[in-house]
Amino acid sequence: MSINLRNQDTRGYTFAEVLIVLLCLSVVLSVVAHFGAVWSQRTDKTSFLRVFTEDLLTAQQHALTTGKTVAVRLYAESGRYRIYTVEETLADRTFSTEDVLFQNSAMRSFRFDGEGDIAPFGSIFVTVGGVLYRLTFTIGKGEWYVTKLS
């Protein structure tokens, strides 16, 4: 009993089979692209607070290591903040005013002195991506922290 392989079709896939595979791939890629875009938007909204707190830590460390005063100025209406000394700008960043909202109009600027202490003390309320946070600057010793309120 021998099998004759010459009568079988060995030319490849049919057009219908290729279309089905391409359709499946396009569906999978569109789902991945959609969820990737949603994740990217969520990351952009929450990354502001991470970058802002890292900049504040850098400012405080710069004040401690150089012994010079470092000022922080918030321009909430124009979506910008600036961290600087008399001689140089340490950070000048922009942010989306649609995603980030500063709610305390009284404390728009503060500074770290040469010992790392903060003046004036108080709190700044900021809404990032619909979540409310409080940045609290305590009296003396340069301590500050972020609290998620909602």
pLDDT tens per residue, the chain (150 residues)? 555 555 555 667 888 888 898 888 888 877 777 666 655 555 566 688 888 899 999 999 999 999 999 999 999 888 899 999 999 999 999 888 887 888 766 778 899 999 889 988 888 888 888 888 998 988 877 888 999 998
What integer pLDDT is reported at residue 40 of this predicted model? 52
The answer to whether 55 and 84 are in contact (CB under 8 A) is no
116 closest CA partner among 79, 65, 74, 41: 65
**CB burial readout 14-48, b (16+ within 10 A) else e:** eeeeeeeeeeeeeeeeeeeeeeeeeeeeeeebeeb
What integer pLDDT is reported at residue 46 of this predicted model? 67
126 closest CA partner among 67, 50, 59: 50
Spatial distance between the Cα atoms of 71 and 84, rounded to a whole number of angstroms: 5
What integer pLDDT is reported at residue 82 of this predicted model? 94
